[in-house]
A and B are shown apart, each in its own frame.
Chain A
Amino acid sequence: MKVLISGAAGRLAHMVADLLKAEGDEVVGLDVRPLPFGRTFPGTFHQVKRYDQRGVAEVFRRHRPEGFIHLGIRAATARARRRYTQNVLGTRKLLDYCRRYEVKRVVAMSTFHVYGAHQHNPVNIREDAPLRATMTFPELQDIVDLDHTVSTFLWRNRDDVNTVLLRPVNIVGPRLQNQMSRLLRSRRCPRLLGFNPLMQFLHEDDAGKAIVMAMKGEAFGVYNVAGEGAVPFLEAIRLAGGRPLAVPHILAYPIGGFLARRGRMPPAHLIDYFRYAVLIDDKAFRDDFGFEPRYNTVETLHWAGTRSR
Chain B
Amino acid sequence: MARFFRRLRGSPFTDEQMEALRKSTAVNSAGYDPWGLNLETAERSVRFMRYVYEDYFRVRTFGIDRVPQGRVMLVPNHAGQLPLDGMLITLAMMLEAKPPRIVRGMVERFFPTLPFIGTWFIRCGQVVGDPRNCEELLERDQTIMVFPEGVRGSGKLYNKRYQLQSFGTGFVRLALETRTPIVPVGVVGSEETYPGIYNPAFLARMMGVPYVPVTPFFPLLGVAGALPLPVQIDLHFGKPIFFDDGDPDEPEEVTCARVEQVKQALDGLLEEGLAQRPNLSRGKR
Contacts and interface: CB of A to CB of B under 8 A. Distances in A.
Nearest to A296: B29
A229 interface: yes
A194 B115 contact: yes
A298 B30 contact: yes
Contacts, number: 64
A115 to B, nearest CB: 13
Contacts of B130: 120-122
B128 interface: yes
Which of A197, A198, A228, A277 has the most B CB atoms < 10 Å from its CB? A198
A18 to B, nearest CB: 30
Interface string A117-150: 0011111100000000000000000000000000
Q: Which label, helix, strand, loop or mixed, suits the secondary structure of the A interface? A: loop
A196 B32 CA distance: 12
A229 B29 contact: yes
A124 B28 CA distance: 14
Interface string A172-194: 00000000000000000000111
Given A119-B128, A231-B30, A276-B112, A195 B133 contact: no
Contact of B113 (A119, A124, A230, A297): A119
Contact of B32 (A192, A230, A249): A230
A133 B130 CA distance: 18
B115 A120 contact: no
A74 B49 CA distance: 48
A248 B115 CA distance: 9
Nearest to A301: B30
Contacts of A296: 29
A192 B109 contact: no
A124 B32 contact: no
Contact of B128 (A122, A193, A196, A198): A122
Contact of A123 (B28, B35, B119): B35
Interface string B132-158: 110010000000000000000000000
A235 interface: yes
Nearest to B36: A198
A296 B29 CA distance: 9
| Chain A to chain B: the 6 pairs with minimum beta-carbon distance, closest first | A194-B115, A122-B132, A194-B116, A119-B112, A122-B130, A229-B28
9 contacts: A119-B110, A119-B128, A122-B132, A194-B116, A198-B34, A229-B29, A230-B30, A248-B115, A297-B30
Given A119-B110, A195-B119, A232-B36, 5 more contacts: A119-B113, A119-B128, A193-B115, A230-B30, A298-B30
